[in-house]
Structure 1
């Protein structure tokens, strides 16, 4: 036989017994309190329904609020709201989804573009911009840029300063200053940027491939090089290619038909045998390997012309600027050239992201034309090209 406890004294004893029992079973205190509140709520609901006809609107709830559940705190808030006839619903705050699921990493404010923070003026239409993304453009990285020693007005070692000077270093220094970057020009072998040794296919130089430098300067892009490296926007016009012979062309070299002719190339230049093979309108443009010679420099090529080891030299025309003892026998030949002088870098490099916008500002400015005119003023004692034949917009 089961009995229902009705007296208050026995109710308290029964409640104490039940509370002790559930505690021994491992239930937390809040579980007992919550169950007790639910039972009391049902009793009150039954009473309210029984007395519904005699109640007024004052017994009705004034609304509902939803609060996050925090053990020990939410129950107290619930009791306070209940005194004011406000219903309370609780929702979990720390869920597995909230703790474990993060589909995207949070982006730091300083890494976002545009304005970081801005304060408006109440009495005017002005505003104060405290920080923008430009404030973070300057980094601590030193950008290493290769620059070879060529002994002409693009690059040369100054006898006075002992430093690398010339048109290209002037461009690099100006662009890095505009971009607010810390750049260092280093002098090293050209072959560490692009290798074109006799008997081997042209390929990326070990230095640039291995990350010794962030970029190699003074290189012109073509289809062959673009298969390996990325190029910045050009800061000079694209020069044409040329065949050269001794003055007067004593062996009557016909550049339109070079079948059986022996041709010399300069390693590292854009005018190699692969470039010549792409030229249109030339019979025998694909030179067999037994007819290819690679000169170590201008002087060796000139000696080969004199002793008739070769019939002609092929390269881009800028290599022949200011040189004596030779004669160009072609008329603005275009072979494999894609662009003018640029910076050559690995495809995973971020250099072009800041270099190209800064270079565009330089070329549009008066400073670019001053650098071009400085080819004659400051670097005129070195052989090489004229600014009118090389600079953009002159």
Structure 2
């Protein structure tokens, strides 16, 4: 090792360094000062931008985003796209629950296996005027609305669980409006009467129900609350209230002596073959309005259905649908009274 090399190594140990192009102390101080100034300027800009933002408190912030399949909305402030209302979505398929009561309102066509009747004709016409994509879904009536003996009526699982958007041809009643809504009616309200076995062999009187066993159809507008509103003698002293699910079960129950009478609307039975009407005045306290589409409280279906139905009523097509019910759908002796 030369003397020069030894001197360099000694200097490194002393902390003086061996890198020949290292910056001077003055240049280090200059760079540090510039860095501090840059940081300070950035901090000032951040404060100014925050102040500007706080100075505009009314700036709207949209946190919803449209779901591609037409569903609801989710949080997404960074996207800021408003959802399309359901009643304005051209891709929405509106599903209507419909039964088959065997009358000219709803029945199964044996040849095609499809549901036909006045209700089907109305749905097709209104959906055409509203330019909506509509489908029918057959289901039992209890899934739309139901009532058990001595209990308040309630919405059925099908409607409340969104299996469909509406239930077809239901009457607005005092009990139902507490939990569902209705479109404009397309059918006039009905009166209700007591039906008995043909010939009324038990001499049942509709003016005094004391000790009588009365039947009702599950979920129908003509229920025990309707009878109570009518103030009939003995209504709170009936021997028993029985509920049946179908018209056929009730006919068998009345004719078999299981019950004294059944309370129902005046068009549900065939008076030539099924049952007789007990003497007495018809009761008109069951329905608030005529039959229409029964929907959930949050439904937007009436937003387009009602205007489309109003348009239909102004045409000859509507009058033709109403006038030709018994001709096109010869399933019942009863006329269907359309709203004007």
TM category, shorter? 0.7 to 0.9
**Which residue of structure 1 lines up, in the alignment, with residue 4 of structure 2?**
none
Distance in 1 (CA, whole Å) between partners of 2:135 and 2:88 is: 17
CA distance in 2, matches of 1:321, 1:375: 17
* Matching of residue 223 in structure 1 with residue 174 in structure 2: yes
Q: What root-mean-square deviation, in Å, do the aligned CA atoms of Structure 1 and Structure 2 show?
A: 3.3
**2:223/2:286 contact within 8 Å kept:** no
Equivalent residue in structure 1 for 2:207, among 227, 248, 256: 256
* Conserved? CA contact 1:215–1:343, under 8 Å: yes
CA distance in 2, matches of 1:187, 1:99: 55
Change (3 A) 1:229 1:100: same
TM-aligned CA deviation for residue 213 of structure 1: 1.0
Tell me which of 304, 320, 324 is aligned to 1:354: 304
1:376 aligns with 2:333: no
- Structure 2 CA distance for aligned equivalents of residues 227 and 287 of structure 1: 27
Alpha-carbon distance between aligned partners in 2 of 1:104 and 1:26, rounded to the nearest angstrom:
35
- Give 3-state SS (helix, strand or coil) of 2:311's partner: helix
Alpha-carbon distance in structure 2 between the residues aligned to 1:312 and 1:158: 31
Question: Are 2:304 and 1:293 aligned?
Answer: no
Report the number of matched residues.
286
Instruction: Give CA deviations for 1:367-392 in whole Å, capped at 9, x if unaligned.
Output: 11111122112101x125213xx222
Q: How far does the alpha carbon of each residue in 1:157-200 deviate from its partner, in whole angstroms, 9 at most, with x for none? A: 11122111100111111111111111111001111111123465
C-alpha distance in structure 2 between counterparts of 1:384 and 1:214, whole Å: 31
CA distance in 1, matches of 2:147, 2:53: 60
> Which secondary structure does the structure 2 equivalent of 1:168 belong to?
helix
Higher RCO, 1 or 2 (CA under 8 Å, sep at least 6)? 2
- Where does residue 364 of structure 1 map in the other structure? 314
1:149 equivalenced with 2:100 (yes/no): yes
What is the distance in 2 between the residues matched to 1:373 and 1:261? 40
The two structures have a TM-score, normalised by structure 2, of 0.74
Q: How far, CA to CA, are the matches of 2:35 and 2:145 in structure 1?
A: 81
- Give matches, 1:143-182, under 5 Å: 143-182=94-133
* Cα distance in 1 for residues equivalent to 2:35 and 2:173: 83
* Equivalent residues of 2:100, 2:106 under 8 A apart: yes
Gap regions ≥5 residues in structure 1: 1-19, 31-91, 108-135
Q: 2:37 aligns with which of 7, 26, 31?
A: 26
Deviations 1:327-349 (A, max 9, x none): 22333321221111111111011
SS at match of 2:94: strand
Distance 1:226 1:287, change over 3 A: farther
Give the secondary-structure state (helix, strand or coil) at the position aligned to 1:318. coil
Q: Residues 234, 174 of structure 1: CA spacing in aligned structure 2 closer, same or farther, 3 A cutoff?
A: same
TM-superposed deviation, 1:233: 1.1
Deviation of residue 27 (structure 1)?
6.0
8 Å CA contact 1:233–1:342 kept in 2: the answer is yes
Alpha carbons 2:106, 2:119 under 8 Å: kept: yes
- 2:178 and 2:169 map into 1 onto residues whose CA distance is 18
Using a 3 Å threshold, how does the CA distance of structure 1 residues 245 and 322 change in structure 2: closer, same or farther?
Answer: closer
Contact kept? 2:185, 2:339, Cα under 8 Å: no
Asked if the contact 2:150/2:241 (under 8 Å) is kept, the reply is: no
Change (3 A) 1:363 1:189: same
Structure 1 match to 2:75: none
1:252-285 deviations in whole A, cap 9, x for unaligned? Answer: 22212111111111112211222222224x1123
